[in-house]
Amino acid sequence: LVGIGEETVFRGIVLNSLARTMSLPWAVVVSSVFFGLMHSTNVLLQPVGDTVSQVIVTSLIGLFLGWTYVLSGGNLVLVVVIHWLWDFSLIASDESLTAQAGLSGLATVAVLVLAMVGTAVGFHRLAGKGWES
C-alpha cells in the first residue's frame, strides 16, 4: 500500500504539478529528490549513514520511476507495480526475514518470481485483457 500512496503523491501529483511550472526533465529530477528526501525520516529508526544512502538510492529510483511514468504516457499503475516489485525484492532479499520464514535462497527467488507473475497476471486481467492478448 505504501507504493500506491507514494506513487500517487510523487508521480501523480508532485511531478505533474512541477511539469506545469518547469521543464519536464527538471520536474522529474526535482520530484525524485523530494521522493528521496521523504525517506530521510528513517533517520529516527536507523543510523544516519544508512539513511543518507537510502535517500540517495531512493532519489535514483525516483528518477527511474519518474521517467517510466513520463515515457508510459502517465501510467500510474505501471509505476505502482514497479515500486511494489522493488519493495518486495528488498523484503525477499533480507536474509534475516527469509531465515525466519525458513526459506532458502532458491525458495526466496521462486517466491519472488511467482509474486511477479501473479502481479502481472492480476493487472493484465484488471485491465480487461484476456489470456489471448
* 94 grid coordinates: 533480507
Q: What is the pLDDT of residue 133?
A: 42
Residue 93 sits at φ, ψ, to 5 deg, of: -90, 0
pLDDT of residue 78: 87
Give me 84's grid cell: 511494489
Instruction: Answer positive or negative: Cα dihedral of 103, 105, 111, 115.
Output: positive
pLDDT attached to residue 51: 87
- pLDDT band for 22, please (50, 70, 90 cuts): very high
The mean per-residue pLDDT over the stretch 16-27 comes to 95
Q: Look up residue 3 and give its amino acid.
A: G
Quick one: what percent of the chain has pLDDT higher than 90?
34
Number of domains observed in the structure of the chain: 1
Residue 117 within any structural domain of the chain: no
Domain interval for residue 50: 2-73
Residue 102 lies in a domain: no
Is the residue at 64 inside a domain? yes
* 64-116 pLDDT, tens digit each: 999 999 988 898 988 898 888 888 777 766 665 445 555 555 565 666 666 66
The whole-model pTM stands at 0.69
Rounded Cα distance, 38 and 24, in Å: 21
